[in-house]
Amino acid sequence: MVTEKDVEHIAGLADIGINKDELGTFTGQFNAILDYFDLLDRVEGDAVITRDLTNVMREDEITPSLSHDDILKNAGAHEDGFIRAPRVM
Amino acid sequence: MAEHTIQFEPDDRCHAFLTICKKPVHGNGALAGIPVAVKDNISTQGIETTCASKILKGYVPPYDAHVVTLLKLSGAAIAGKTNMDEFGMGTTTENSGFFPTTNPHDPTRVPGGSSGGSAAAVAAGMVPLALGTDTGGSIRCPAAFCGCVGLKPTYGRVSRYGLIAYANSLEQIGPLAGNVTDVSRLMQVIAGYDPRDTTSYDRPYAHTPEADIAGLKMGIPEEYFGAGVDPAVAASVHRAIDQLEALGATPVPCSIPSMAYALAAYYVICTSEASSNLARFDGVRYGLPADTKKSWHDAYREVRRAGFGTEVRRRIMLGTFALSSGYYGKYYAKAQVARENIKKDFTRILSDVDVIVGPTMPTIAFKLGEKADPLSMYLSDILTVPANLAGIPAISVPCGKVQGMPVGLQVMGRPFEDERVIDVAFAYEQAVRS
């Protein structure tokens, strides 16, 4: 059972942005979906997965890349050839 | 390469397209001058690519997805970008951030999803070929609902380079068309090795469909005809199975016990992968711009609240929850165990039989607005998600109608035996068309 407070916490972790008036609906839907997910409690076995998989590596070769201009075209804001981002610190 | 142009001005009354290219250029090759519709989560250089999300409105990719490069090399004309559930998250195309697409057979019904625009464009006769993507049924569901053919290839057979990722371990790009032969033609163009996708296999596809299925063994899983499957849909599929039997295939009853956990496992895995993949949409490098005067978290949250639709935000939060400390073992780890069990069940059954057949969807196309509750929409994916969890090829081919709406027959096969599922679908199609 998750509460509105839990959903608010998750929304914060995911940086999803949530309005107070949405919390009730999301919480109700979450509980219905998580109730369904509880089926997985009946799955036998451990979290340890052994799969027949191998990593795919390649040489670090320099290949043609996108131009500076092409990269900046889709950025919201840029200055002196750099992409401008919101303040982090 | 681009020496010619075609005129492409379709009467798009079902709102299949987000972008229409009225005078697309094309070169020479196997698909010379053929208009091909491309789902809007596949990058097209110089053509807006939004994943039907407001957060990517105005984004014009500076490069082509590998499949688009291959289409251009084959002479195809990129006719436009098709509508979809935002980022592929949905079963109806109603979750598009812009507008819903309607079913060409009935404008009060959905085309299925998430590749609803591609299927509707094909079914309405606007294009002969289209590309979709299938994470949990997103090619096969709309193919079934719209009455066209759609293939989810074996995982790794088609490069995902340039596909805007939703759930990497599940999704594949694949062909949609009006008939099996055309699906096969498009598969010839898009399959093959690409070093830019590390999950790509060197298994090109050079097959021409063959209708001879005499001696083939087809597994009929009881779970595909159980509770929740509309009896009229099941009856339609049983008639198709009788037809395949008349062509010389032998039905073999079977059971997939792990199916009970497939849907829960699928939704835990896809939302978990989505929560990580969609973190990149921050309004800095592309898409809806973040307010750079605000602090990082405030700006980030504001862009994501404004840009993502409700279903996308719900899935990002569900995935974040499933991966969060204290819940990882209960959800994500168990879902991976369930996924392994499903793989094992399919491997076991497909060592006895050549293909597995059943309905693609449990019902005909829903009415617009019918699946307003998210869980009830998720439950409708029950018959398509197992193939994605197992990584196996699966095709949907039309098999009759119920209440005037198309029904899809699903054929699943062993990994890298896309040729065989295509042959079975082709044999059925030829038998009912003759």
ipTM metric: 0.94
Reported as type and span, the H/E element at residue B36 is: strand B35-39
Rounded to the nearest angstrom, the minimum Cα separation between A80 and chain B is: 15
CB contact at 8 A, B91 and B85 = yes
Task: Verify cis geometry, omega within 30 degrees of 0, for the bond prior to B184.
Answer: no
| Of B58, B293, B320, Cβ closest to residue A14 | B320
Q: Does A62 touch chain B (CB under 8 A)?
A: no
> Quick one: closest CA in B to A27, which residue?
B314
Query: What range does the domain containing A37 cover?
Result: 4-42
Asked if B138 is an active-site residue, the reply is yes
Domain count, chain B: 1
The tens place of each residue's pLDDT in chain B, 434 residues long, gives 447 999 999 999 999 999 999 999 999 999 999 999 999 999 999 999 999 999 999 999 999 999 999 999 999 999 999 999 999 999 999 999 999 999 999 999 999 999 999 999 999 999 999 999 999 999 999 999 999 999 999 999 999 999 999 999 999 999 999 999 999 999 999 999 999 999 999 999 999 999 999 999 999 999 999 989 999 999 999 999 999 999 999 999 999 999 999 999 999 999 999 999 999 999 999 999 999 999 999 999 999 999 999 999 999 999 999 999 899 889 999 999 999 999 999 999 999 999 999 999 999 999 999 999 999 999 999 999 999 999 999 999 999 999 999 999 999 999 999 999 999 999 999 999 87
The one catalytic residue among B114, B118, B236, B275: B114
**Cα nearest neighbour of A2 on chain B:** B321
Active site residue B184: no
What's the CA angle centered on A29, arms B367 and B259, to 5 degrees?
75
User: Which DSSP string corresponds to A7-47?
Assistant: HHHHHHHTT----GGGHHHHHHHHHHHHHHHGGGGG--S-S
Domain count, chain A: 1
Asked whether the CA dihedral A36, A42, A47, A48 is positive or negative, the reply is: negative
Which chain B residues touch A69 with a CB distance below 8 Å? Answer: none
Determine, yes or no, domain membership for A26.
yes
Domain ranges, residue B322: 1-434
Q: Please, which residues have CB within 8 angstroms of residue B277's CB and are 6 or more apart in sequence?
A: B165, B166, B167, B168
Does the beta carbon of A56 lie under 8 angstroms from any beta carbon of chain B? yes
Residue A80 lies in a domain: no
- Beta carbons of A39 and B294 less than 8 Å apart: no
Q: Would residue A78 count as lying in a domain? A: no
The span from the CA of B391 to the CA of B412, in Å, is 10
Answer yes or no: are the C-beta atoms of B287 and A79 closer than 8 Å: no
Answer whether residue A47 is part of any domain. no
Residue B271's CATH number = 3.90.1300.10
A1–B contact, CB cutoff 8 A: no
Cβ of B275 within 8 Å of Cβ of A14? The answer is yes
Q: What phi and psi values does residue B283 have, to the nearest 5 degrees?
A: 75, 15
Name residue, tokens 């998430």: B114
| Set B43, B74, B138, B200: catalytic member | B138
Interface test mutation site (partner B, options A27, A33, A49, A66, max chain B beta carbons within 10 A): A33
